[in-house]
Structure 1
Amino acid sequence: MARRVVLDCDTGTDDAIAIMLAAARPELDLVAVTAVWGNHAVEHTADNSRRVLDLIGRTDVPVYAGRGAPVDPPPGVPAPRGSAEPDTLPLPPPTQQVEAQDAVEWLVETARAATEPFTLVPTGSLSNVAAAIAADPSFVEAIDELVVMGGVIERGGSLPDVETNVGYDPEAAQLVLDAGFERLVLVPLDATYRAIVTSEQRATLRPLGRAASVAAGFIEQRIASYRTLPAMNGRAAAPVHDALTIAYLVDPTLVTLSAATVRVHTGDSPTRGRTDITLGTGEVQVAVDADADRFFDLVRESLAQL
């Protein structure tokens, strides 16, 4: 049986490719997409999610809009800044409507009614997931695996000190880490920057069909913005962060995992949003490496099926 998956997204270009992969893979049953604020306001992330599902002919997958702000920010802390990407993906307006039910309510009700566990993949801020836990702590019992794109291990190198998904809502991230999920996998920047896609690889996607061509355009956009960052050092390549979470679900051997303890800097600390990740022992499985060539092969194979 296909694995039942819910994607919790702040959909921009890399979340869009994650949605495409999840919908393309026969091993996965994409049950729903829940939209959350993060790189873009929730109204835009819900809209973008529906645009992607329209593109790939999956309007049967419902989209629920959820939290539009952090769950419990300390007073006086400035609101996080969104992505430099345009708020709206360059795709036709969606034909399907956002579901009337709030995403957090839907997550809680779905968990309560579940006769078998499902997998939850948050690739934006963790505000929806934290709100679901706060509404019903038993929510965690319905999740067989929580796969989070977030955090960063390296400190003082070429990667940013704060990864945005965690940094947008650190209190939510810490609540999720403490909630007691049976299996929590964290895919930090250290792994996603190992699974970069080059300009040459991107070019091979365009002949594969409409969805693959759109994905190639998204990756081209990412390469243009990432090549000036220290981690890329001018190279014509870029990470597709959120897609690695789906690739991991399809083939867990694509990434190298290590047990770890993870704590998030919260409150009004000047280091707010940083993740302290201590490898070797702990309840969280953290991706410390990824196979870039095999990742791209899986992306290419998946997009060709759409």
Structure 2
Amino acid sequence: MTKIPVILDGDPGHDDAMAWVLARSRPELEILAVTTSTGNVTLEKTSYNAGRVMALIGLEVPLAAGRSRPLLADTMTAPSVHGESGQDGPPLPEPKAPPVPEEAAALMARLIQEADQPVVLIPTGPLTNIASLLLLYPEVKDKIGHIFLMGGGLAHGNWTPAAEFNILVDPEAADLVFRSGIPLTMAGLDVTEKALVYPEDFKRIGAVGNQVARITAEWLEFFYR
């Protein structure tokens, strides 16, 4: 089976963490790297959280931190949603390695250039790193196969009546990415708010019995509360 090369980008966050658990479980995906941005909490915290999630799921690929602030907007975080750490709830293993010296955009550009097929980007946080990649390394644009992003909303917002948090954090980055011409699929609030999980589902997931399942169930319980 030819695997699909992907780069995971986010600001974990329980939602991003659970998305990465699912991505790690998919045999058709080859995860090349993980990159982090400021969003739910500061860059230092999202990078630390990413390292802990990677240790939990046994993902041994480069981790790179991106910009510490949006392209133009003031920094905005949301500790009220995921806790002061950005990953409150069950204890996680410590990161196995620190972030690499390369900034996120530089690492993404290098991996995209080295790949023998188009690379898919999966941002689940603000689009700062993806926009930085396109601004700093425009030559890689044609080697990006698709962008699957979590963000936006067609009918309403979740941070203001009109704005969804990931897009609101860095609207200039979002504008650049949406106008890039790269094939793009947006999973906005119109999709994510219909992906419902109930307490009985938490129990069923936790009953799988391994550490990843138990912690995923506890993340869901934390978020539910």
TM-score by length of 1: 0.67
Bigger shift: residues 18-27 or 148-157: 148-157
Q: Secondary structure at the match of 2:149?
A: strand
Residue 57 (structure 2) pairs with residue 61 (structure 1): no
> How far apart are the structure 2 equivalents of 1:218 and 1:63?
22
Structure 1 residues 113-169: Cα deviation after superposition (integer angstroms, max 9, x where no partner): 333101100111100011111112232211111001010111489x94211110000
Aligned to 2:130: 129
Aligned partner letter, 2:127: L
Structure 1 residues 232-259: Cα deviation after superposition (integer angstroms, max 9, x where no partner): xxxxxxxxxxxxxxxxxxxxxxxxxxxx
Residue 76 (structure 2) pairs with residue 80 (structure 1): yes
Contact 1:22 1:29 in 2 (8 A): no
% identical equivalent positions: 35
Contact 1:32 1:63 in 2 (8 A): yes
Post-superposition shift, 1:69?
Answer: 0.4
> How far apart are the structure 1 equivalents of 2:77 and 2:223?
18
Structure 2 spans left out of the alignment, 5+ residues: none
Task: Mark the structure with the bigger radius of gyration.
Answer: 1
Contact 2:36 2:46 in 1 (8 A): yes
Aligned partner letter, 2:192: T
- Over 3 Å counting, the alpha-carbon distance change for 1:56 and 1:138 in structure 2 is same
Structure 1 residues 49-84: Cα deviation after superposition (integer angstroms, max 9, x where no partner): 1111111222x22211111101123xxxx5423231
Aligned length: 217
Aligned to 2:153: 152
Aligned partner letter, 1:49: A
> How far apart are the structure 1 equivalents of 2:108 and 2:154?
30
Aligned partner letter, 1:15: D
Structure 1 residues 169-213: Cα deviation after superposition (integer angstroms, max 9, x where no partner): 0000001111110x1001101101111111111111112111011
Q: Secondary structure at the match of 2:79?
A: coil
Q: Secondary structure at the match of 2:207?
A: helix
Structure 1 residues 71-101: Cα deviation after superposition (integer angstroms, max 9, x where no partner): 123xxxx542323122253313212221111
Aligned to 1:163: 164
> How far apart are the structure 1 equivalents of 2:69 and 2:153?
22
User: C-alpha root-mean-square deviation of aligned residues, in Å?
Assistant: 1.8
Runs of 4+ in 1 over 4 A off after TM superposition: none
> How far apart are the structure 1 equivalents of 2:163 and 2:79?
14
- Over 3 Å counting, the alpha-carbon distance change for 1:112 and 1:29 in structure 2 is closer
- Over 3 Å counting, the alpha-carbon distance change for 1:165 and 1:156 in structure 2 is closer
- Over 3 Å counting, the alpha-carbon distance change for 1:192 and 1:106 in structure 2 is same
Contact 1:206 1:213 in 2 (8 A): yes
> How far apart are the structure 2 equivalents of 1:160 and 1:203?
34
Contact 2:32 2:111 in 1 (8 A): no
Aligned to 2:198: 198
Contact 1:137 1:179 in 2 (8 A): no
Residue 114 (structure 2) pairs with residue 118 (structure 1): no
- Over 3 Å counting, the alpha-carbon distance change for 1:147 and 1:81 in structure 2 is same
Contact 1:71 1:171 in 2 (8 A): yes
> How far apart are the structure 2 equivalents of 1:219 and 1:162?
24
- Over 3 Å counting, the alpha-carbon distance change for 1:4 and 1:222 in structure 2 is same
Residue 174 (structure 2) pairs with residue 173 (structure 1): yes
Determine which structure has the larger strand proportion and give its number: 1
> How far apart are the structure 2 equivalents of 1:129 and 1:210?
32
Structure 1 spans left out of the alignment, 5+ residues: 225-306
> How far apart are the structure 1 equivalents of 2:190 and 2:14?
19
Contact 1:140 1:180 in 2 (8 A): no
Aligned to 1:30: 31
